[in-house]
């Protein structure tokens, strides 16, 4: 158990880390020479699991056509598109996916979609794992199997919303606007 002053929890990250290390040092001293009863009442107990560094948030982008869209789109659409994108949010080695079966999770890179075409680094999050589970529970009623729409409510919309909740950043426009891109071609009209 590490003791951290409550004020460190509301400070900027650099100051919070400074107080974390000071508190860690004081905790070692306290274990050696003081009883817990003598510790300041302004300290809160946190396990080392609760004081993790920020987690990297990535979006795995899969081309469902495996390169065929890039090769054939100029002939079929009159416009170059690089892929038909399926996306999933990856954090701490877990891939959160939404498709026709609702929200699912898997170990990163082991889904039926194979290897990602490319990986987008969205940012980092300090949202703890328990709260991420709550966020998924909160948004899951909007991402049920019966709510899936290939064009207007799909994996990319889920990945965009979840990434924004975790980092404040969403998916790039070329992914979010792929349906509009196709509809704005002579073939799509």
d(Cα 148, Cα 102) in Å, to the nearest integer? 8
* Torsion angle in degrees (nearest 10) through CA of 71, 73, 78, 82: -90
Residue 39 CB contacts under 8 Å (≥ 6 apart), including other chains: 3, 30
Q: Is 24 a catalytic residue?
A: no
Q: Is 155 a catalytic residue?
A: yes
Nearest to 45 by CA among 33, 55, 36, 56: 36
Q: Which of 24, 43, 66, 86 is catalytic?
A: 86
Q: Do 176 and 170 meet the contact criterion of CB atoms below 8 Å apart?
A: yes
Q: Do 78 and 126 meet the contact criterion of CB atoms below 8 Å apart?
A: no
Six-digit token pair at 28? Answer: 């070692």
Q: Which of 24, 43, 118, 155 is catalytic?
A: 155
Other C-beta atoms closer than 10 Å to the C-beta of 163 total 24
Active site residues: 86, 155
């Amino acid at each position: 158990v590490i003791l951290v002053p409550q004020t460190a929890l509301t400070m900027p990250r650099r100051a919070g880390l400074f107080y974390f290390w000071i508190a860690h040092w004081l905790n070692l001293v306290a274990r050696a020479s003081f009883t817990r009863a003598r510790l300041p009442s302004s300290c809160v107990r946190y396990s080392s699991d609760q004081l993790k560094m920020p987690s990297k948030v990535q979006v795995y982008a899969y081309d469902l056509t495996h390169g065929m869209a890039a090769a054939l789109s100029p002939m079929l659409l009159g416009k170059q598109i690089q892929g038909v994108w399926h996306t999933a949010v990856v954090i701490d080695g877990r891939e959160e996916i939404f498709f026709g079966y609702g929200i699912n999770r898997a170990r990163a890179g082991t889904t039926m979609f194979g290897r990602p075409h490319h990986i987008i680094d969205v940012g980092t999050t300090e949202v703890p794992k328990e709260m991420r589970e709550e966020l998924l529970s909160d948004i899951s009623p909007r991402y049920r199997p019966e709510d899936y729409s290939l064009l207007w409510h799909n994996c990319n919309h889920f990945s965009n919303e979840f990434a924004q909740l975790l980092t404040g950043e969403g998916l790039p426009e070329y992914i979010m606007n792929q349906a509009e891109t196709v509809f704005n071609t002579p073939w799509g009209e």
